[in-house]
Structure 1
């Protein structure tokens, strides 16, 4: 397969051990649960040794906890080490990054799901873990690396030279990227035609964006004929049951949800049996109650994650803010991987341009998270041409940031939109206790609204 060969060549040239790690994962998933848990502890012990040698902040905490790394690690001894959170990662980044990690380190930032973007670094091993873990999960659904995929994903306002090169690269490895930030009715018509012509094996995208495209197709009585399509994979936000039903109805194949985050990476994926399996070889997941104590299987708690491939900037016992439930049920196909029975994530809204174009919430988030000096933010679209922006500043804030925010948001939303920026000391959570970084009070036309609601009214 040409796409697979080019993909392998790309990973080799970038010194990413993606396919070697995929080979490991294909073998290790069939280990017993105790064997996988032993593998986790061995990997975590190696990560702790890296952290002790190259990351002063971690080294100080390991020493203060009295953790003896010369002895085999156990979960009991691991719990001597305090947890860390996003604030710790942000405040101590220079003391956390191992710039000498094999293959180099690469700067990245989170999407700001709580309104607090985090700048962090990752390395080649973490990249390989994400890609290989996702490829293995695709194989559970009959999709091989290099087979045709469509990504309904974010894209910049205008393509520069680098973006055009990436677009060419995507096509060479059989990936078509459609812009989730520009979903006007006319554009969605072209997306439907493009997907029909491309005949993908897999469709992957933000849950709400895929549901929106499905709602658009259903409203126009447009039917896909995709005999090669095996699965629609959703990510980035909760997948509500009514969205799952809508997507399955329109595309005619099952929907598999993915769980992960930018800072931790690809974490878990749904199987054809409806089970969410942890990528246990790369992630050690603890579930804690509000007092920081482990909960019993089946009880909800906060996901505290150790990224076993996060050598470049170790995330060890990292409080993610996501609420999950673990299951004692084994994988129904016989794998030793851990089973997550429920993930409670954060929902997003769409932003709507004055011309009716619908954009994923990340279109606005990408603007705010790129502005120097923004500590927290929230966008509230009150009406079609009325966008309020709440900003909590940090010490890097400069006065010109106000103008930059307005310019960038108008480039996304349209010059006729009134941008009202409010500088505040803090941003309160919703009544539910969740932090929503984009809230829109603009109703979507016709049957499209079902794609973005939580289904409570149905």
Structure 2
């Protein structure tokens, strides 16, 4: 069988065979040597960028690497300048992989990776998905991601999807009619796995539940569903497992970095220690002990074209106490650093607290399909939702009472029922947003 996926990477200048060989070498480094191995790679990538990247040299303001924690934290704001000014010597706009982030964090950004680094990312993707019997060359993917709606850009993406052995659904129409069309596709095509945004796949599962359908019954070739880009709550995971009838795998990643953590068949959320160095830090950018919450910083250990060193992805998380340098485990992903509600008392509360309380209450009824929460004033929250029927006064009173118990009293809530909720251009659902 033609290995179309690998061939398309090779033709685009991404040396996938070389990357696979390098990845195998990394994986075979013994546990007892891994800490020194990572330290050496950190030193190499920092010294490379200090020597070859004027943007990073100016930002770091040092001549050579000495102490890791003295290095600056790189933010998305630091990268809001023309890409050509951020590339290392020997790299230009024609010999690198260029992409852009979705902008769901509020700061869209164009970034670059050298071609070997990008190939290494794909080699790692292939390895992780192979744990569930998925081969990108032969397994057909049902893809729940955004897509451009203009004719030329759409056709270009459809060709790319064809070469990558995947079929992309229109996630901008998730009405019952749209979900029925999607479900019919699963009857016709032999999909092997599902990959995409959590909220879209959860909506499909709710539609299947309402119509008493288990997806694996109508599409027996399905093996696994990998959800990404949005929080996966335990109750949603249970719903997905029940209605899709296959294992649900939680992926955490970003377009500029690749996979940061991926759930293994034992249910552990393994942090990528092969191509990244991931740290959890406090307000002073110092590492916190395992088990403590902090901001997530990522270092790409192989990207020579563009520095991602101590890069703040914009999330809070906790590493498990049993983490080791070779096998770090993400215990919990808490949510975005910029999604914080500041209450009238001065108390700060992660936006995900609001979202998870509301989700639990809405889940009891099964009426509400989706919702987002917006903080419009320090004491006012707007809850937009889609539902079969409008919320009753008693349901609203119940929600307000729970908020009062968990947060503080005398907050105002405005409930707005909508036909559809506003999504980002890429199709993500931004679950909490503060306008303060």
TM tier, smaller: 0.7 to 0.9
Q: Which residue of 1 aligns with 2:200?
A: 209
Residue 93 (structure 1) shift: 4.9
> Where in structure 2 are the equivalents of 1:238-253 lying within 5 Å?
238-253=231-246
Question: Over residues 118-154 of structure 1, what are the superposed CA-to-partner deviations in whole Å (9 max), with x where a residue is unaligned?
Answer: 2333332342233222211111122123212111110
Residue 321 (structure 1) shift: 1.9
* 1:65 maps to 2:48: no
Q: Check whether the contact 2:47–2:64 (CA below 8 A) recurs between aligned residues.
A: no
Residue 257 (structure 1) shift: 0.7
| TM, length-normalised to structure 1 | 0.69
The whole-number CA distance in structure 2 between the counterparts of 1:251 and 1:26 is 33
Q: Which residue of 2 aligns with 1:234?
A: 227
Q: Which residue of 1 aligns with 2:250?
A: 257
| TM, length-normalised to structure 2 | 0.72
Q: Check whether the contact 1:203–1:233 (CA below 8 A) recurs between aligned residues.
A: yes
Residue 308 (structure 1) shift: 1.5
Task: Write out the 4+ residue segments of structure 1 that deviate beyond 4 Å after TM superposition.
Answer: 91-94, 346-349, 358-361, 380-384
> Where in structure 2 are the equivalents of 1:30-429 lying within 5 Å?
30-62=28-60, 64-65=61-62, 67-68=64-65, 77-91=67-81, 93-98=83-88, 100-101=90-91, 104-146=95-137, 147-160=139-152, 162-224=153-215, 225=217, 226-329=219-322, 336-346=326-336
Residue 342 (structure 1) shift: 1.2
Distance verdict in 2 for CA 1:34–1:302, change over 3 Å? farther
The whole-number CA distance in structure 2 between the counterparts of 1:168 and 1:60 is 41
Residue 206 (structure 1) shift: 0.2
Residue 453 (structure 1) shift: 11
Structure 2 residue matching 1:39: 3-state secondary structure: helix
Q: Check whether the contact 2:86–2:306 (CA below 8 A) recurs between aligned residues.
A: yes
Question: Over residues 55-79 of structure 1, what are the superposed CA-to-partner deviations in whole Å (9 max), with x where a residue is unaligned?
Answer: 11212345x33534xxxx7xxx222
Residue 205 (structure 1) shift: 0.7
Question: Over residues 142-173 of structure 1, what are the superposed CA-to-partner deviations in whole Å (9 max), with x where a residue is unaligned?
Answer: 2123212111110122332x532432342344
The whole-number CA distance in structure 2 between the counterparts of 1:246 and 1:444 is 23
The whole-number CA distance in structure 1 between the counterparts of 2:314 and 2:77 is 12
The whole-number CA distance in structure 2 between the counterparts of 1:82 and 1:40 is 19
Structure 1 gaps of 5+ residues are: 350-357, 362-379, 385-430, 433-438, 446-451
Q: Check whether the contact 1:26–1:136 (CA below 8 A) recurs between aligned residues.
A: no
After superposition, the CA RMSD in angstroms is 3.3
The whole-number CA distance in structure 1 between the counterparts of 2:71 and 2:321 is 26
Distance verdict in 2 for CA 1:131–1:283, change over 3 Å? same
Structure 2 gaps of 5+ residues are: 337-351, 357-368, 373-381, 387-405, 408-413, 421-428, 432-436
Distance verdict in 2 for CA 1:342–1:33, change over 3 Å? farther
Residue 323 (structure 1) shift: 0.8
Residue 240 (structure 1) shift: 0.8
The whole-number CA distance in structure 2 between the counterparts of 1:453 and 1:127 is 28
